[in-house]
Amino acid sequence: MYRWRARRCDVDRDGVRRVMESRILDALKDRTLELGPTPDTSDTYRNFKLTRDADGVAWLLFDRANASANTLSEEVLTEFDMVLTALEAQRPTGIVIRSAKPSGFIAGADINEFRGSDPVAIEAQIARAHAVVDRFEALKIPTVAVIHGFCLGGGLEIALACQMRIAIDGARFGFPEVMLGLHPGLGGTARFTHLVSPLQAMPMMLTGKTIDARKAKAIGLVDAVTEERHVRNAVKDAVFGRLKRAKPSPLIPLLNFSPVRGILASRMVAEASKQAPREHYPAPYALIDLWEKHGGDRPAMLKAEQRSFARLMVTTTAQNLIRVFFLREAMKKLAGAGDGGIKHVHVIGAGAMGGDIAAWCAHQGLRVTLADMKAEPLAGAIKRAADLYAKIVRKRTDQRDTLDRLIPDLDGEGVRNADLIIEAVPEKLDLKQKVYAGLEPRMKPDAILATNTSSIPLQDLRTSLTRPERLLGLHFFNPVSRLQLVEVVSHDGVDQEMLKRATAFVGAIDRLPLPVKSSPGFLVNRALTPYMLEAMMLLDEKVEKETIDAAAEQFGMPMGPIELADQVGLDICMAVGDMLRSKFGDLLPPTPAWLREKVNRGELGKKTGKGFYVWKDGKAEKSSAAAATARPSQEMIDRLVLPISNVCVACLREGIVDDADVVDGAMIFGTGYAPFRGGPLHYARSRGPDNVAATLRTLAAKYGDRFAPDEGWETFT
C-alpha cells in the first residue's frame, strides 16, 4: 500500500547475472576460457589457478574456493601476494587476471570481515592489503584485467591496479561502498580520480551507481570492450602493444589542482547534503574531504584513504548499514531455491498496483496476462510498463521482448493456464470475493490464488472459496519496481506446499519475501499506520506540516509522514486507518473529521494534484521559509517513530513474524525506514528497551493510551 522512496542501486543485477552466466558457461563448455596448454601451478593455490600460454602470457584465474562469487578476503589477498612472488620469479611476457565465476569478475570485499571495532587494527589490516595491491601495480610486466559481469568495489580497485582493462560487453562497474557507510579502501579513491575525470569519478563513488562497459570505455575506465570469443586476440594486442589504450583527459591534472578541488568539493558537499545529511551518513563527506585535501598528491591520498576508511568502519552508521546488507542476504535465503514452478502469472486488476506487479513479473522473464474489466486501465498499465522498461532495460530489442511477455487480457482467459493468479482489485471484501467466485472454477487444480490485499485478513477473504487452502497473500509495495519487500501471508488453513512455492516465486522475481501470519494490516501497514495518524494528530494541534515532516527526516526517514500520506493517497490512508482502528481501538489515533472532509472534497494528494501539499510535475510544493524555520522537538520525533517500534514488538510477541531481524529488514526494505538506524527493533535495542518503554509510558500519560508500551517490551532484549 504505502509508497516511499528508497535508495538503491538502480541496476537489474539478476538480469545481468543471468545473461552473463549463460555466456560464460557456454564459453567454459567450448573451452574458450581455457587459460593455456601448460599449467604452471594449477594445484598450488586454493583460490587461484595460474597457467601460461604459447606466447608466454601468464593467465591468472581467480576462483575463490567454496563461493559462488569472487570476493576479497585477507586470506585471498595473502595468497595473491604469494602468486605475485611466483610471477616476479617467472617473468612472463604479460599477466592476465580474470574470473572463473560466471557471476562476474570480483564482487568486492568480503563483507564478513567488516566487523572491526578498533580503528588502529583496521588501519593496519588495510595497510597490509594496500601493500599487496601496490605491489601488483608496480610489476614491470604488462598487466591486463579481463572483466565480465560485475566488477564492484574492491574488484574494481584490483582492476585499476592493472595497466590495461578489457571489458566483455555487458560488464558493469561501480563502487557501492557508500551503501555500507564507507568509501573505497584499496586505493580506489586515488587511482580512480587520477585515471578518470574527478567530475565523473567522484559522483560514481558518492552515489554507488554502476555503469556499463560502453560507458566505462567512454570515460576512460576501460581500454576496450569486446565479446568473449575475441578475448584472446584482445589480450595479445594489449600485451604486445597493439591495443589503442584509453587516454586520460588532459583536464584531470587541472581538476585535481588544489584551488579547483576546493571549489568543486564545496559543490559536491552541497549536492550530498540534499540526499544524505552529514550526521547520518558521514561517508560521502569523508570522501570529499579526502579528495579535497589530497587529490593532487596520489601517494598522500593512498595513505590518507587507509586512515579515513578505518575511521568510517567503526561508525554506528557503517556497522548498521553492514547489518542491513546481511539482513538482505538472510531474507533472500527465506525464498529457498527455484521458482516454485511459476511460469505464467495472471494478474487481475490493471490499476497502479496490479499493472506494476504484472510489469515487474514480465521484466523478470515470466509470461504474464493482465486482466481488467475496462480497456483504459489496461492501456495505462502497458504504457507505464513501457516507460519502466525504457529506464531499466538497456537494449531496445530486450524492451520489445519484455513487453511481448506482458499480454493485455480483457476477457480474462489467461486464468485457465496460469500457475499463479494475483488479485489486485480495490480493498473491498465483497468485491474481492465476487472476483474469486468467477475465477475459481476456471483455475488449474494446482494453481495458486494470491491476493495483494494490504490489510484485509485472509480468514475473511477465504470464506467464499471452495478450496480456501490455496488462497494466500502476496502483498507488494508501491513502487513495485523499487521497493524490494513482498509480504507472503499465510493463514491456518493454507496449503503449505503452495505457500512454499509462492515464497520461492518471490525470490525468483528478485524480491525479498517476508513470511507473515494473517492479521489486520499484517506487519508493515500495521506498523506504519500509527506513524501516519500521529502526524494527523500533530496537524490537529496546529503544528506546521513542514515541521512534522522535518521531524521524521531529522530522524532519518526518506520523507516525512505528511508528504508520504499525499503520496499514498489520503483516501487509502483513511480507509486503512479506519479498518485497523476497528480492530485495535484506542491503540491507534482517531481519524480526524477534517481528514474525511478533505477526502470528500476530492483532495486525495498527489494523484489529484492537491492534498496537504499542492503537487506539480510529481513534486510537492513546500514553503521554503517554513522548512527553514522548522525546529522539531525530540518529543515530536518520539511521538512519530516510537509507535513503529512498539507495533513491531507487538507483532513479534503475537507471532505475526517470528524473527526480530526479519522485522527490521522488512521495515527497511518495505518502507525505507532509516537504514542507518538498523531497523525499528535494532534502534530500540540500541537506545535501550527500558528507555523506549519508559518514554512510551510518559507519552501515554500525556497523550493517551495509544502510546501504551506493548507487554512485549518486558521480554525484548
| CA 5 – CA 18 distance, rounded (Å) | 27
Which amino acid, residue 217? K
Place of cell 513542514: 546
Check if the beta carbon of residue 206 is closer than 8 Å to that of residue 288. yes
| CA 115 – CA 125 distance, rounded (Å) | 12
Question: Of 130, 363, 475, 491, which residue is the catalytic one?
Answer: 475
The helix or strand, by DSSP H or E, that contains position 539, with its residue range, turns out to be helix 524-540
475 is catalytic: yes
Q: Give which of 63, 47, 143 is closest to 96, Cα–Cα.
A: 143
| CA 281 – CA 275 distance, rounded (Å) | 10
The set of residues, in sequence order, having a beta carbon less than 8 Å from that of 453 and lying 6+ positions away, is 427, 432, 461, 473, 475
Q: Where are the beta strands (DSSP E) in 229-320?
A: none
Buried b / exposed e over 33-54, threshold 16 CB at 10 Å, is bebbeeebeeeebebbbbbbbe
Q: Give which of 42, 69, 255 is closest to 153, Cα–Cα.
A: 69
**3-state secondary structure labels for all residues of 267-289:** HHHHHHHHHCCCCCCCHHHHHHH
Q: Where are the beta strands (DSSP E) in 207-327?
A: 210-212, 224-226
Place of cell 580506489: 188
Cell numbers representing residue 677 in the block:
538506524
Q: Give which of 484, 448, 370 is closest to 13, Cα–Cα.
A: 484
The angle at the Cα of 644, spanning 641 to 647, to the nearest 5 degrees, equals 150
| CA distances to 159, 223, 237, 436, 474 from 242, in Å | 20, 12, 4, 67, 56
For residue 544, how many other CB atoms are within 10 A of its CB? 17
Q: Where are the beta strands (DSSP E) in 491-617?
A: 512-517, 614-616
Tell me 478's DSSP state.
B
Measured over all CA atoms, what is the biggest interatomic distance in the chain, rounded to whole angstroms?
83
The helix or strand, by DSSP H or E, that contains position 291, with its residue range, turns out to be helix 283-294
Buried b / exposed e over 633-671, threshold 16 CB at 10 Å, is eeebbbbbbbbbbbbbbbbbeeebbeebbbbbbbbbbbb
DSSP 3-state of 57: strand
| CA 641 – CA 239 distance, rounded (Å) | 59
Q: Among all residues, which ones are annotated catalytic?
A: 475
